[in-house]
Structure formats: structure tokens, C-alpha cells
Chain A
Amino acid sequence: EAGVAQSPRYKIIEKRQSVAFWCNPISGHATLYWYQQILGQGPKLLIQFQNNGVVDDSQLPKDRFSAERLKGVDSTLKIQPAKLEDSAVYLCASSFQGTPYGYTFGSGTRLTVV
């Protein structure tokens, strides 16, 4: 079974620029999660999709962050404009039907904002 694919692996941008991250979950996994992990902290959920609908985006900074999962498969997370405090690893995870027992994380995208 192929894992959760994410790209790019690393990204360096200047503040106020925009950036996008891509995630392709495990085939058949209806639930997709985007987490932000700042250095030295645990992952924090930004947004959760069930198929192509949003079920939780309560901690997504909506003035600068957006995410979509148009066909219920892969997803894109965008930041525009980026701030220095957005420097973090962005982890995508998927599970079969929203159960935490089957969470699988991708390798993450490390973003550095300078």
C-alpha cells in the first residue's frame, strides 16, 4: 500500500510571498488532515476533510491560509501572504473513515519563511 505523498519536501520563501503544499492520501482514505508542527511542539490540526467537505477548520488562520480537496482525493494547502511565524513542518495525514486508529502521516513539507 502506497503511503501518504506530500510535496515539496522543503520550501524557503520570503515573508509576504505565497506558497502551496500538495498531499495525496492513501487510496480509499476518505478523511484527510493538515497539521502544522512548529519546532519543539506537537502537531496542531489546521483543517480536516471528509471526502471533499470540511469537517473542522477551527484552528486555520483563514485570513492567510486556505485549503481545498476538490475531488475528494488529493488536497492543496496555501498560505498567502506568509509570515515568519508560519515557519514549520506541514504534515498531511489520512485515515479510512475519520477514525484515529488508522492515522497515517506523510513525510511533511518543511517551510522556512525568511
Chain B
Amino acid sequence: QKEVEQNSGPLSVPEGAIASLNCTYSDRGSQSFFWYRQYSGKSPELIMFIYSNGDKEDGRFTAQLNKASQYVSLLIRDSQPSDSATYLCAVPTLTQGGSEKLVFGKGTKLTVNP
């Protein structure tokens, strides 16, 4: 099974700063990568996905992918206290039945201090 590694943190940044969350993966053949946000006591919700090398921006969030280094990151600009959550990196992998399932990392807990 594919491995997805994340720094468990916790990561603490002041309000307004850039938060950088990192993820590495073991399978060089992985094509797409997902970032989920999970508030305490809530279920994961999709923030964004990326499948091309380079950057993908969505509002204050930027996903960066480097397939050669097997590395994907999530940058949160102008961090807000409401961004405080655990961020999960996920990679699809094929099941025996030929469909796909998401394999998740352990997550990085982010705290944004006012």
C-alpha cells in the first residue's frame, strides 16, 4: 500500500502569517494528491487537489507538487484563527477491484494564534 507521510506537528503560526504543510509519498507513480481539512470533532472536508507539477492556487490556499521529489505541500496565506484544524494529505490507490480509494497521512495539526 502507498505510504503517505506528514509531520504530525503541532504547527503554530501567528495570525496573518503563511502556514506551510508538507507531505511526502512513496509511490512514484501517484498522479493526484488531495488536501483535506478536519476541524476537531468533525469529519474531513476537501480543500483542494492537484495533479500537475507546480502550483495550484485557490483563494488563500496554494498546493505545490514536485513529482521528482515525491513531495506535495499546502500553503495557507494570511492565516486566520479559523484555519486552526488538522490538515490531511491523501493519495489515491487502486483497489483489487480496480476502483480507487484514498490513503491518508496522519495529518498535521495547525494552530493559528490571534
| Contact surface of A with B, Cβ cutoff 8 Å | 31, 33, 40-45, 48, 50, 53-56, 58, 91, 98-101, 103, 105-108
Contacts and interface: CB of A to CB of B under 8 A. Distances in A.
A43 B95 CA distance: 16
A41 to B, nearest CB: 5
A105 B34 CA distance: 14
Interface in B32-64: 32, 34, 42-46, 49
A45 B94 CA distance: 13
Nearest to B6: A42
Contacts, number: 63
The 9 closest A-B CB pairs, nearest first, are A55-B97, A98-B99, A42-B104, A56-B95, A105-B43, A100-B92, A42-B106, A43-B104, A100-B102
B27 interface: no
B88 to A, nearest CB: 5
A15 to B, nearest CB: 24
A12 B4 CA distance: 31
A72 to B, nearest CB: 15
Interface string B1-40: 0001010100000000000000000000000101000000
Given A43-B44, A106-B43, A107-B43, A48 B99 contact: yes
A55 B104 contact: no
Contact of A40 (B8, B46, B49, B88): B8
B90 to A, nearest CB: 7
Given A42-B90, A53-B97, A98-B100, 5 more contacts: A42-B107, A56-B96, A58-B96, A91-B44, A105-B43
B62 to A, nearest CB: 19
Given A40-B8, A44-B104, A50 B99 contact: yes
B101 A48 contact: yes
B69 to A, nearest CB: 21
Contacts of B44: 43, 91, 105
A2 to B, nearest CB: 15
A82 to B, nearest CB: 22
A108 B43 contact: yes
